[in-house]
Amino acid sequence: MSGLSMAYDYDLFVIGAGSGGVRAARLTALDGKKVAIAEEFRVGGTCVIRGCVPKKFMVMASDFAHQFETAEGYGWTVEASFDWPKFIQAKDVEIARLSGIYAANLGKAGVDLVHGRAVLKDAHTVEIVGKDRTITAEKILIATGGRPWMPETLPGIEHAISSEEAFHLPELPKRILIAGGGYIAVEFAGIFAGLGVETTLIYRGPNILRGFDDDVRAHLAGEIEKRGIKVILGCQHASIEKTETGLVNHLENGMTIETDVVMFATGRIPHVKDLGLETAGVELNDEGAIQVDPHSKTTAANIWAIGDVTDRMNLTPVAIREAVAFHQTVYRDNPQSFDYESVATAVFSQPPVGVVGLSESEARRTCNKGVDVYVTRFRPMKYAFTGSDERVLMKLVVDAETQRVVGVHIVGPEGPEMIQLAAIAVKAGLTKAQWDATCAVHPTMAEELVTLREKQSAANVSAG
C-alpha cells in the first residue's frame, strides 16, 4: 500500500498521458502508490493520437495503390477508387477506441486521470489551468512530449500545415508540397503520392534522411522518385503565397511550384512552453529539452522527465523503456538506465526502411581495424510480372576486427518487420559467421541477410 505522506495528495503526479507517461503511471499505481496523470488533449499522446498509429493506417491505406498495380501483373483486373472521408472516419473511430483503451487501463491500474493542462507552481505543486484546482505530489514525472516546429519567420508560413493537420484534411488535395527530409517528410510524401496526390518533397540538404547510412539515403531517394515523388534537394522556401488557385511556393533557387497544400515537416521540439519549469527548479539543456541524468532525473530533486520532452531518442518504444527504468529506479530500488545502443528504427516510407546499429560511416569512425561491408540490391520476386524496376537494398556493416555485425540496413518491403528480428542479433553482438551459420528461409527476401558472402570491394565502397 501507499506510504503516502499526509503532506501530499499523491505519491506521483505525471504530466502528459502519452506512451511514456501512461506506462510510468500504471506501473507505479500497480505497486500500490497513489498516482494521478494529467492530459490536456486526449489520452494516448503523440503516438496514438497524431503520430505512429494514425500514420501507419495512412501508410497502409496508401500502399494499396501499389498492391493493385502489382496484382495486375498477376492477372487481376482492379478497378479501384479511394474515398478519403470514409478512410478518415474509420481511422478516427479506431484512434478513439485506442485512446479509450489507454484511459480504461489507467483506471484499472487505479490511476486518477485529470483532464486539463497541468502547470508547475513549485517542485511539489501543480495547478490545473482554468479549473481552480491545485494538486500536490511527492514526486512529479514530466512526459509532455514534443510539438511540430516550423520556421516562423518564413513569409506565408501561416498557410502551411504540419503533420498534425495532415491527419484531418477535409479532402485529399490534388497537389502537395512537403518541406523537410526527415522521418515525417518522407513518410507523408509516400502516403500522399500513393493516394494519387501530385507530391513534391523539398529538402535543404544534399540528400534525405540525414544521419542514416548513405547507401540507404541514396537508394530510398531513387525509389521514392520511381513511385512518382518529385524530390528537390539542396533547396528551401523563400516564401509561400496564397493565390486564387492555390499556394505558390517560391523557392530560393527561383523555382515556383503551385500546390493545394504545403506541409512543413521540419522537426519537432520538446513541449516545455508555459509548464512552469523554472518555478520548480527544472532546467533545460542547450537544445531546449529538459535536462536529465541517465536515470531521467531532472535538476529538481523530486522531478523526473521521460520521452520526447527530453529529446534523447524520440521513439515511442524508447519512451516506454525510459518509463520502465524510471519506475524501477524510483519505486523498486533498482537503479536502471535505458541503453540507447542498437535501437532499431523504421521509416515507413514507401518502400520502407529498417535500420539497426551503425551506418557505414559511423562504423568506419569507431571500429579500430575498419569495417567489412556486404551489400545486395535486387528486385523482389513479387515484382517479377509487373515490369517494375523497384529494387531492395540490404547492407550489413561488420567490425573487421571482432567480425561482429554492427549495422543492418534494409530498404524494401517488410524492412521494418525484418529489422525487428535482425536487431536481436545485433544487440546480442553476433558475428558474421554466426549469421552465416543460420540456414536461410527460401524463398524470402530476408534470406539475403544470411547468404551475403561477398565483401564490397574497396573500389565501390560507399563514400559515406
- The residues that touch ligand NDP, with contacts defined as CB under 6 A, are 151, 179-185, 187, 203-205, 210, 236, 265-268, 314-315, 345-348
**Do residues 161 and 261 touch, judged by C-beta distance below 8 A?**
yes
Minimum distance of ligand NDP from residue 184's CB (angstroms) = 3
Q: Is the CA virtual torsion 459, 462, 463, 464 positive or negative?
A: negative
- Which one-letter DSSP state was computed for residue 284? B
Residue 122, helix vs strand vs coil: strand
> Which residue in the shown chain puts its C-beta closest to ligand NDP?
182
Minimum distance of ligand NDP from residue 267's CB (angstroms) = 4
Q: Which is nearer to ligand NDP, 147 or 455 (CB)?
A: 147
Q: Which is nearer to ligand NDP, 99 or 162 (CB)?
A: 162
Name the residues annotated as catalytic.
442
Q: Which is nearer to ligand NDP, 14 or 185 (CB)?
A: 185
H-state helical runs in 310-442: 316-331, 360-366, 415-427, 432-436
Q: Which is nearer to ligand NDP, 173 or 416 (CB)?
A: 416
Minimum distance of ligand NDP from residue 346's CB (angstroms) = 5
User: Which long-range CB contacts under 8 A does 420-425 form with residues at least 24 apart?
Assistant: 420/344, 420/354, 421/446, 422/344, 422/354, 422/356, 422/449, 423/342, 423/343, 423/344, 423/356
At CA 342, angle to CA 340 and CA 343, rounded to 5? 65
Q: Which is nearer to ligand NDP, 184 or 445 (CB)?
A: 184
Q: Is the CA virtual torsion 439, 440, 441, 447 positive or negative?
A: positive
User: Which long-range CB contacts under 8 A does 75-78 form with residues at least 24 apart?
Assistant: none
